[in-house]
Homo-oligomer: A and B are copies of this chain.
Amino acid sequence: MKASEVSKLTGLPISTLRFYERKQVIPVQFVSRDENNYRVYAKEVVGFLEDVRTLLSVGFTIQELILLINESENSYTEKKALVQEKIQHIQEQKAKLESSKIFLMDVLEGKASFQTHCQS
């Protein structure tokens, strides 16, 4: 697959694909080069990039992703700890989202703190 196809399938601009590659978010085995130096992407990169997108959108940083993605960087034990920590983080985020939802619903009902203040 060439860049434009990956871009179409993932919805990510080509510039972002290159940016991620530069940042080493995309594992090297997913990108090689053809005889014209054009990038050739493995088909698996699409699903991978969807995961990257999700994780970034829920508050993970690129640096955190790299730690999870890079094989050599950490030992299995370290990585396991990291992933568990992240899963923990996700649980916390979910709890926060739940309370945010309640907060927003209160806003809607005119019950939230900054609303009550106005009614005085």
Contact of A48 with B by CB under 8 A? yes
Interface residues of A (CB under 8 A from B): 27, 29-30, 42, 44, 47-48, 51, 54-55, 57-59, 68-69, 71, 79-80, 83-84, 86-87, 90-91, 93-94, 96-101, 103-105, 107-108, 112-114, 116-118
A55 to B100, CA, bound (A): 6
Selected contact of A51 from candidates B84, B90, B103, CB within 8 Å: B103
Beyond A90-B97, A94-B97, A96-B54, whether A118 also contacts B68 by CB under 8 A is no
Selected contact of A93 from candidates B58, B91, B114, CB within 8 Å: B58
> In the bound complex, do residue A87 and residue B101 qualify as a contact, i.e. CB atoms below 8 Å apart?
yes
| 10 nearest A-B residue pairs (beta carbon) | A83-B108, A54-B96, A90-B101, A90-B97, A83-B104, A27-B114, A44-B113, A47-B113, A54-B100, A51-B103
> In the bound complex, do residue A107 and residue B68 qualify as a contact, i.e. CB atoms below 8 Å apart?
yes
Copies in the complex: 2
> In the bound complex, do residue A87 and residue B104 qualify as a contact, i.e. CB atoms below 8 Å apart?
yes
Q: How far is the CB of A21 from chain B (nearest CB, A)?
A: 14
A114 to B24, CA, bound (A): 13
